[in-house]
Structure 1
Amino acid sequence: MAERAQYEELLRQFSAFGAVKRELGRIMPSDCTSGSAAVLILLGRYGDMRMSRLAELLAVDMSVTSRHVTHLAERGWIDRSPDPADKRSRILHLTPTGLAQLEALSERTTQLLAERLADWSDEEVAQLSRLMERLRASFDDCRALPPRLPPPAFELEPTTRTPAST
């Protein structure tokens, strides 16, 4: 098992990964949030699905999923059709416009990653991908379990917000 210092360094690297996510977010069209992009990617990868399945894949609440779906449907990127097996449910699927948007997003992100990782070997890129997949799987396996966090070493003082002056 890794030593505490290794986990602390890993945590610092996770924090730094926020810069990567921010840069990826900057290349997204203004009307395509990261949540919207995730929905498009999942529908592109897994095909038509119910909203409950999408919420499960996103690992978010149905209300969050519903907001993403509404956002995408308003732009014509996805359609919601009645589920033949259960008319109360909806089946989500990409429209041709949504598929074009997904392809454009894929092109943008692929280009950015190719630029930023140009000095990486193919094996290093493959290794990073394998390790990230393994990390994600480790957390997916634990999703149903309560987090095992140590008690805080200190207590945070309550903060108050002051109204912004207008």
Structure 2
Amino acid sequence: MAEQAQYEELIRQFSAFGAVKRELGRIMPSGCPSGSGAVLTLLERHGDMRMSKLAELLAVDMSVTSRHVAHVAERGWIQRSPDPADKRSRILRLTPAGRAQLEELSRRTGRLLAERLGDWSDEEVAQLTALMARLRASFDDCRAVPAALPADTEPRPPASPVLEPSPRTPATTQ
């Protein structure tokens, strides 16, 4: 298990990662915040789905998901259709305009990442991707566990490390 000093440095690096996210946000087209990009990415990756499934994949409250969905629907990037199995629910579907927007987001983020990580080897980029997916999966596994540990409780390492990307791992636009 890592030493406390290593966890403290990790926390500092998480804070510094905010600068990376802000820079990625600055290159997004106007009218397409990161939440919209996440909605488009998940619909492209997982296909048509109900809003409840999207909220689960985004790992946010249904009210937040509803705002994101309204935003992308107003721009014609998704279509909301009645669910044949339950007329009270809606099925969300990516439109051709949404696919075009997603391609633009991918071009922009890919270009920025290629520029900033140009001196990284393919292996280093793959390693970072795998570690970030593993980190996300570790937090996904802990959702049912209370967020705060009692003061006298030491954090325990995960029972089995996850090295494969989680299907819930957001794309670079988030």
TM surpasses 0.5: yes
Q: What is the rounded CA distance, in whole Å, between the counterparts of 2:65 and 2:88 in structure 1?
A: 17
2:31 counterpart residue number: 31
1:17 counterpart residue number: 17
Structure 2 runs not aligned, ≥5 long: 152-174
1:37-56 counterparts in 2 under 5 A? Answer: 37-56=37-56
Q: CA deviation at 1:148?
A: 2.9
1:4-153 counterparts in 2 under 5 A? Answer: 4-149=4-149
Amino acid in structure 2 at the alignment position of 1:18: G
Q: What is the rounded CA distance, in whole Å, between the counterparts of 1:137 and 1:103 in structure 2?
A: 26
Aligned residue for 1:31, secondary structure, equals: coil
Q: What is the rounded CA distance, in whole Å, between the counterparts of 1:40 and 1:74 in structure 2?
A: 13
Deviation readout 1:28-67 (Å, 9 max, x if unpaired): 1110011111101101111100000000000111111000
Aligned residue for 1:87, secondary structure, equals: strand
Of structures 1 and 2, the one with the larger relative CO (CA 8 A, separation 6+) is: 2
1:161 counterpart residue number: none
Q: What is the rounded CA distance, in whole Å, between the counterparts of 1:143 and 1:111 in structure 2?
A: 34
Amino acid in structure 1 at the alignment position of 2:108: R
Aligned residue for 2:76, secondary structure, equals: coil
Identity, in percent, stands at 82
1:159 counterpart residue number: none
Aligned residue for 1:90, secondary structure, equals: strand
Question: Aligned-pair RMSD on alpha carbons?
Answer: 0.9
1:157 counterpart residue number: none
Q: CA deviation at 1:150?
A: 5.3
Q: What is the rounded CA distance, in whole Å, between the counterparts of 2:116 and 2:122 in structure 1?
A: 13
Q: Following TM superposition, where does structure 1 have runs of at least 4 consecutive aligned residues deviating by more than 6 angstroms?
A: none
Q: What is the rounded CA distance, in whole Å, between the counterparts of 2:107 and 2:149 in structure 1?
A: 39
Amino acid in structure 2 at the alignment position of 1:136: R
